[in-house]
Amino acid sequence: MGHSILIVDDETDIVTMLGNYFSKKGYQIMTAYSGKEAVKKAEKCPDLILLDVNMPDMDGFSVCERIRQFVACPIIFLTARVEEMDKVKGFSSGGDDYIIKPFSLVELEARVGAHLRRELRKSQAVKVKFSGDLSIDYGQKKVFIKDEEIPFAKKDFEIIELLSQHPKQIFDRERIYELLWGYDAEGSSNVVTEHIRVIRSKLSKYGYQTCIETVWGNGYKWRD
């Protein structure tokens, strides 16, 4: 059985078009035509949600915030809005991506596929061994050197998780802060520097302080 997609839009033609297209591609389709209906259908735990922003009873941002309380699957916003603040609001409410109407079905399919593959990699990569004796158990959210657990606070581990799952990709301090603290978080991205200092300090006791490399003027990246 293929992955399941919940399609949410108050425009019947769009729901029908997307439903027919993805159904032919082998996906299992669920549909909703309002925000309230979307919240109810999301309880069935689809693998991915295509969510319209502009709906009369409850907008997509509010729907996203509600269903994020019990759903962790990727959410792609379908929106005619292009303002920067709308993008920020979409991500801060729990969305993973957005595509602007009118959109290419081929591009949308590519994005859907990319998000589902990413989720599959995350589910399969429960415990990953890196160089030497360092391993990360993403399921238990723990870091080990040989069989000894190295204790990390929640945000410390989230930084390790983000960087290690995107090896060699550079993340600047602001991007890390946005991804892990949220766009609307109160505070400063300077806190990222302190967390990375703590991570390196703990790993340095075992000779692994260089796992997180500083790329001067750009940010940080994970070195395997």
**How large is the average pLDDT for residues 66-75?**
85
3-state SS record for 186-213:
CCCCHHHHHHHHHHHHHHHCCCCHHHEE
- Name the one residue in this structure whose structure tokens are 């940080």: 220
Same domain membership, residue 154 and residue 72: no
- Predicted local confidence at residue 24, as pLDDT: 95
Query: Residue 45 is part of a domain; what is its CATH number?
Result: 3.40.50.2300
Name the strand (E) or helix (H) holding 31: strand 28-32
188: containing domain: 126-222
**How large is the average pLDDT for residues 181-207?**
85
State pLDDT tens for residues 109-124.
Answer: 999 999 898 877 766 6
- Predicted local confidence at residue 126, as pLDDT: 66
End residue of a domain, out of 87, 104, 123: 123
Return d(Cα 192, Cα 189) in angstroms, integer. 6
Same domain membership, residue 150 and residue 57: no
Same domain membership, residue 151 and residue 116: no
Same domain membership, residue 140 and residue 105: no
End residue of a domain, out of 100, 123, 146: 123
Same domain membership, residue 172 and residue 191: yes
Same domain membership, residue 69 and residue 20: yes
Same domain membership, residue 119 and residue 144: no
Query: Residue 188 is part of a domain; what is its CATH number?
Result: 1.10.10.10
Same domain membership, residue 148 and residue 99: no
Same domain membership, residue 98 and residue 66: yes
End residue of a domain, out of 74, 100, 123: 123
- Mean pLDDT score of the chain, rounded to an integer? 87
Task: Specify the number of domains making up the chain.
Answer: 2
Instruction: Give the residue ranges of DSSP H helices in the chain.
Output: 12-24, 35-42, 60-67, 84-92, 105-124, 154-164, 173-181, 190-204
**How large is the average pLDDT for residues 94-113?**
90
Same domain membership, residue 16 and residue 96: yes
State pLDDT tens for residues 161-185.
Answer: 889 888 878 889 988 988 888 766 6
Most confident of 21-25, 114-118, 151-155, 183-187: 21-25
To 10 degrees, what angle do helices 60-67 and 35-42 make? 20
**How large is the average pLDDT for residues 75-82?**
85
Same domain membership, residue 99 and residue 147: no
Amino acid at 198: V
Same domain membership, residue 51 and residue 133: no
Which residue in 104, 100, 71, 107 sits closest to 86, CA to CA?
A: 100
